[in-house]
Amino acid sequence: MSLLDRIGKRSASSDDDGPGDAGSTETSSAAGSAASAAGSARRSLPPIIQLDSVSRIYDTGRIQVPALQNVNLRVEDGEFMAIIGPSGSGKSTMMNILGCLDRPTSGRYILDGQPVDELDNDGLAYVRGHSIGFVFQSYNLLPRTTALENVAAPLLYQGVPRKERLARAQAALERLGLGERLNHEPSELSGGQQQRVGIARALVTDPALILADEPTGNLDSHSGTEVLKLFRDLHALGRTIVLITHDPEVAESADRVVHIRDGELTEGAAA
């Protein structure tokens, strides 16, 4: 059974907690064709991400440091986009803004139709928990906690009953090929397996956006390649992914590349 079969489509994830039907190359091709055919339709929908003249200025008390400068960006439903930049370019600030971990100093951010500037802190926390799935460089898994419980954790904060959240967590792990690792703790998993647990945790809430921050940064080349293939498979099934990286080879996995330098964005060539 291919990885694409196990992942399942976002639209069906709430109704089907089991693995997909058997298949391999044909299923992958069909999913890719479906994603391409849906491209035009997506463009008629509101974007998942819309940044209008967004700036972020840090005031140190003596000087003001502009981290983002008049950024405009649209990410459509189902896009796979990479934001690439060197250290100090503003990509961490961009990550914090997109992830609703920080607010712009000026400009407007609309996420999945919701103007973020209209939200209080509780509203931001709700959006982070329901609309965004985070994938981190350092995995951020709970130690001495099984893979199953790690993936189920975001559903706890949504008030999902324990039986349901464990069932959804198990389905997410099985889709990512970790059905035999449900009761393993992070210390018993390889780096690549830990990152797959992190991706399953990001998917379990069925978010509008997957936001991946240097997701291969702590992995060897083989595990990194596998994780990037997983993102491509997710994209083929219609997931919206924004990947933030400093590595041009990682950025090439995306269909669209945006460069950030000195807090400003420039569009790059499609991969």
pLDDT at 61: 85
Nearest Cα to Cα of residue 75 among 95, 103, 56, 51? 51
| Residue 121 Cα distances to 53, 102, 118, 124, 209, angstroms | 22, 10, 10, 5, 20
Which domain, by its residues, includes 230? 3-267
CATH number, position 85: 3.40.50.300
3-state secondary structure of 154: helix
- Alpha carbon distance 2, 22 (integer Å): 7
Regarding predicted confidence, which is higher, 18 or 64?
Answer: 64
pLDDT at 17: 41
> What's the total number of domains in the chain?
1
The model's pTM: 0.82
Mean of pLDDT values over 190-196: 96
- At 267, the pLDDT band (50, 70, 90 cuts) reads confident
For the stretch 61-93, pLDDT in tens is: 889 999 999 999 999 999 999 999 999 999 999
Regarding predicted confidence, which is higher, 145 or 30?
Answer: 145
pLDDT at position 7 over 70: no
Structural contact between residues 240 and 210, judged by C-beta atoms closer than 8 angstroms: yes
Q: Where are the beta strands (DSSP E) in 88-170?
A: 106-111, 114-115, 132-135
Nearest Cα to Cα of residue 210 among 82, 40, 18? 82
Structural contact between residues 75 and 242, judged by C-beta atoms closer than 8 angstroms: yes
